[in-house]
């Protein structure tokens, strides 16, 4: 059983955490995030730490305590440092361009694919690398996943959009299969 929920979340300088009724509000240099708490979970501020506690001993409450503690820790890191996900494009002629709040992908379709950035998300493009940045970890991951889903890496040549460092398992293909049968 994990005991992550019992650990405190440290608050760095420049970050302000408030508990307003059933909401936790975290403010920092990069912005503000808000989290609505479940009924059976309490959040307390003690000095420079945030403590998450549960009211009972039910399995759901233990799970919620760890989850809420992790969400608060992600919010604190997001408003102070920010979150980012990097993707890379593999393929001849694949291009990406950041125009204002949009990402324009030219990746082998008959038309360019335009992805609009929601509030708090920004795109950076360097040659074949796309970086998604923001303060909300969940939203950054979701937008990166949406970009990858436009052209996921295929198993024969490895072409497509993938996360930096992602391993794509390759298949042999027809030519390799017939050579082994001789």
pLDDT in tens, 37-49: 998 899 999 989 9
Residue 56 exposure: Cα atoms within 13 Å on the Cβ side: 8
User: Does residue 182 sit within a domain?
Assistant: no
Counting Cα atoms < 13 Å in the Cβ hemisphere of 98 gives 17
Among 29, 54, 80, identify where a domain stops. Answer: 80
Instruction: Write out pLDDT tens, residues 117-149.
Output: 999 999 999 999 999 999 999 999 999 999 999
Above 80 in pLDDT, residue 175? Answer: no
- List the CATH number of the domain containing 19: 3.90.930.12
Return the DSSP state at 31: -
Residue 171, in any domain of the structure: no
- For residue 84, CA distances in Å to 75, 146, 162 come to 13, 14, 15
The pLDDT, as a whole number, for residue 172 is: 87
Q: Reply yes or no on whether the pLDDT at 181 is more than 60.
A: no
- Residue 60 is predicted with a pLDDT of 84
Whether residues 76 and 89 share a domain: the answer is no
Residue-level pLDDT at 45: 93
73 pLDDT tier (thresholds 50, 70, 90): very high
On whether both 98 and 150 belong to a single domain, the answer is yes
Query: Is 175 a domain residue?
Result: no
Domain span at residue 11 reads: 4-80
Task: Look at residue 178 and tell me if it is in a domain.
Answer: no
Based on the fold, state whether residues 28 and 94 are members of the same structural domain: no
Domain finish residue from 59, 80, 101: 80
CB atoms within 10 A of CB 99: 10
**CA 98 – CA 105 distance, rounded (Å):** 9
> What pLDDT, in 10s, does the model give residues 101-113?
999 999 999 999 9
37 plus 101 within the same structural domain: no
What pTM did the predictor assign?
A: 0.87
């Amino acid at each position: 059983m994990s005991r992550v929920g019992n650990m405190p979340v440290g608050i760095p300088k420049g970050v302000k955490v408030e508990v307003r009724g059933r909401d936790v509000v975290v403010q920092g240099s990069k912005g503000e995030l808000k989290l609505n708490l479940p009924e059976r979970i309490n959040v307390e501020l003690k000095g420079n730490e945030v403590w998450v506690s549960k009211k009972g001993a039910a399995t759901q409450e233990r799970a919620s305590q760890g989850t809420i503690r992790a969400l608060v820790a992600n919010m604190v890191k997001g408003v102070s440092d920010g979150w980012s996900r990097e993707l890379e494009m593999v393929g001849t002629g694949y291009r990406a361009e950041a125009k204002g709040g949009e990402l324009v992908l030219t990746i082998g379709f008959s038309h360019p694919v335009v992805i609009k950035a929601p509030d708090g998300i920004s795109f950076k493009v360097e040659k074949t690398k796309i970086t998604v940045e923001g303060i909300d970890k969940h939203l950054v991951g979701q937008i990166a996943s949406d970009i990858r889903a436009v052209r996921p890496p295929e198993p024969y040549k490895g072409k497509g959009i993938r996360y930096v460092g992602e391993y794509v398992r390759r298949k042999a293909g027809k030519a390799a299969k017939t050579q082994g049968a001789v």
